[in-house]
Each structure stands twice: as structure tokens, then as C-alpha cells.
Amino acid sequence: MDENKFFYLKFLLILVAIFFIWVSGSKKNDPSETVSKPPIGNKPAALVDFSPAIPEIFGNSENTLPRRDWSVPYLELQAQAALAIKTDGSRVYYNKNIEMQRSIASLTKLMTAIVVIENYDLNAVVEISSSAVKREGANGDLRPSESITVRSLLDIMLIESSNDAAFALAQQRTDFISLMNKKVEELGLNGTHFINPDGLDSPNNHSSALDIAKIFGYLINKHPEAFEILKTKNMVVYSSDGKIEHRLENTNELLGKTDEIIAGKTGFTDEAGGSLILLIKNDIITVVLGSQDRFGESEKLINWLKSAYIWEK
């Protein structure tokens, strides 16, 4: 009898062990315990107020609006780098290679504008040199020996992306490039360095999507006069004597196309490819670098943001 009791006790213990093993395995394989979300890449350091740079790690709280709608798949862009970020750096909505150093073409002129506004008298009159007029790349139809205000050159540079205007502005100070790189240090831009004012291709003239977003944010937040220029579709400026007229048309084809796009700056060189930075509604900066279709891919990114995030309760 004792042997029978011992046998049944062993049998019962074996059944209990099997039961617990089965329950444990079921919980591990239960799909309700795992929420699968598309990859969003590494979370970058935040850009706090754009000046000075304060690195922070931040998350995407599911209770904070806008809230990610994970039923919308992650956007695939052909651009070499892309970013969508809150203007104060508190949220990143999209990122692709945002810290990769690369040529940024005429987005360089955003830093040129900062240096000009912070160091020049915008009402001062300068004379255009022959070397400025001959500068490679896009031009604003400036004439040798033409006299024109710094403010008008700033308009031509930012609206028409004029290399001759950028070069003419830089020629007014021998330390202009040093001032650009000094501002780089002040803003904590670890992936940025400049050797020219207009963005012509050079291995030593580079930035990143993250850094250029910070430069753009600083410019439009600190200098409303530049913000107004970057919002302007068309403008007419004159030489200081009123004899030479410059009719300007913004190189940003998306400006005025929809109410969502507020301001922006274009860039293109053979090495950099197409570049575009925009300020859109909801205080978001979008950046597309190294794209064969900068306008189309920027539109894709804007449309994706509208569907991939829940903006209202």
C-alpha cells in the first residue's frame, strides 16, 4: 500500500510540473503580451531653444499629442538624410541619417545670413566686385561696380539663392568665414564646418540634417527680418541709385503651394544633390538632403506627418 501511495504521489508531482511548464510557455508565446512597432531609428539629442546647444534624451510619450499612429507604416525616402523636428527640439517626428556629415549646398547661406545680420549694418551700401559677379553657380544678375544695400543683397541671396550676392557680402570682411565657424562653435554644431559663404562643393564645407535644422531654427527665431525674407515668394529690389532693377523669384517651388508651408530655403550642387529645409505648420522643421526630388520628397514627408501622427483628441 505504501508503495502504491508513493507511486501516485510521484505521478501527481510529475503532472503538476508539466502543468507549470505548459503555463509558462504559453505566456511567453502570447502575442497579446508583445506590441510590435515599426523602427524609428536612434533617438537624437534634443535641440533646446536652438541656442545654446543642450543635449537631452527624450521619448515619444503615447499620452502626448501629437501621438504616433503605429498603423501607418514608417516612411521610406530616397534622400540621403531627412528630418522632421519641433522648432524647439522637443520632439523628433522623423529621422534618417540626421547626424551624417555631408555637403549641404546653398543651405550654407543660412549661416551666411546669420553672420551678415549680426555683424553688418543692413542699410550700408556696398559696391559689387567683378569677382563676385563671376562667382560660379546661381546668380542674382548683379553688375560689376553696382552699388546696392546689404539688405538688398540679403534678399537676393535668400530668395534667389544667389552665389554672387553671398560672395559679395562675404567680401566685406576678411574674417567672414572665421565668423561663420565661430557661430558654429557657439551653437554647438559638432558636424558642421564652413570654408565658403555660398555652399560650393568642398570636403571641408559640410553639415548634417540635425545641425542645419538648428541653424535654420536659430535664424528664424532670433532674426525676424530673415524669417520674412524666407517667407517671400517674389520681390523687386533696386541698386542704391534706383537705376538697376532685380526681380526676384523664390527658388522654393513649394512656397505658396499650400498653407502648411510657411518658409524655407533650397540648395543644389552636383555633389550635394537636392536639399530643402522648410518651416511648416505646428512649428515643425523638415529637412531633406541629397535628394533627386527634394520638393516631391518634402511633400511626402509632410503628408506622412499628417497621417502618421494623431494631432487632436
251-267 pLDDT, tens digit each? 999 999 988 999 999 99
pLDDT at 63: 62
pLDDT at 312: 85
Superfamily of domain 105-310: DD-peptidase/beta-lactamase superfamily (3.40.710.10)
Which tops the pLDDT comparison, 42 or 80? Answer: 80
pLDDT over 90 for what percent of the chain? 74
Whether pLDDT at 34 is above 50: no
What is the distance in angstroms between the CA of the first residue and the CA of the last residue of the chain? 71
39-48, 148-157, 292-301: which range is least confident on average? 39-48
Alpha helices, DSSP H only, in the chain?
2-28, 109-119, 130-133, 150-159, 163-170, 176-186, 209-222, 224-230, 294-308
pLDDT at 65: 83
Q: What confidence category does residue 51 fall into, taking pLDDT thresholds of 50, 70 and 90? A: very low
59-63, 110-114, 162-166, 279-283: which range is least confident on average? 59-63
pLDDT at 64: 78
In a 10 Å sphere around its CB, with 0-12 CB exposed, 13-18 middle and 19+ buried, how is residue 100 labelled?
Answer: middle
10-19, 149-158, 213-222, 229-238: which range is least confident on average? 10-19
The full length of the chain comes to: 313
Whether pLDDT at 56 is above 70: no
Q: What confidence category does residue 4 fall into, taking pLDDT thresholds of 50, 70 and 90? A: low
4-18, 34-48, 201-215, 265-279: which range is least confident on average? 34-48
pLDDT at 172: 97
Compute the radius of gyration of the chain from its Cα atoms: 27
State the average pLDDT over residues 277-287: 97
Domain boundaries, the chain: 105-310
pLDDT at 305: 97
CA dist 74 → 41, 43, 96, 297, 308 (Å):
10, 15, 11, 14, 8
Mean pLDDT of all residues belonging to the chain: 86
Cβ neighbours around 297 below 10 Å, total: 20
State the average pLDDT over residues 223-238: 97
pLDDT at 2: 52
52 preceded by a cis bond (ω within 30 of 0): yes
Whether pLDDT at 43 is above 50: no
